[in-house]
Amino acid sequence: MQARRVVTGQNADGKSVFVSDEQVEPATVSLLPGTEFHQLWGSDAAVSLPTDGRRPDGPRYFPPLHGFRFGIFTLGPANAAPPGDLDVAAALAEFEERLPGMAEHLEPDDPGMHTTDTIDFDYVVSGEVYLELDDGAEVLLKPGDCVVQNGTRHRWNNRSDQPCTVVVAIVGARRA
């Protein structure tokens, strides 16, 4: 999928300007064929305005408290599987390199299940996906559906033969 990012800011005179207009390439990983992660914008701290539009620091996939992320993820269809001869150690290293910090939230004994200290705002753009919570509770989401994910344990499961694209805004939260 193509993702174009247009960024605005203010110049030294305080005038609003376009700072950049570019295509953002997705991160892909061998472990998840057909899946793409467009990491569009984010910061590890609250942003002060006005801003010159330079991209803030947000090196890890999930934000810390007071941080945020904005992106798109596309889940590959159900029939997309890693190759049988996949070098798992190399694939895990690739996963960490391309999506820093994501793997540490995944449960090794329950693939795809994860919990983060974030509030996630998810909007399904195309395809369909099941959102599964604890004990197998799930809901089918289709285009136009949205989810407010309040730091719950969950996994995404695309059981269809088509990719599913979701726009997501993730805000760091404090877990009591």
At residue 148, the pLDDT reads 98
Would the CA dihedral through 120, 22, 101, 127 be positive or negative? positive
Domain residue limits, the chain: 26-172
At residue 67, the pLDDT reads 96
Average of per-residue pLDDT across 70-86: 92
pLDDT over 90 (residue 58): no
First to last CA, the chain: 38
**CATH code for the part of the protein at 26-172:** 2.60.120.10
Alpha helices in the chain (DSSP H): 88-98
> Structure tokens of 97?
């390199």
Q: What is the pLDDT of residues 125-146, one digit of tens each?
A: 999 999 999 999 999 999 999 9
Least confident of 37-46, 51-60, 157-166: 51-60
Q: Considering the entire predicted model, what is its pTM?
A: 0.93
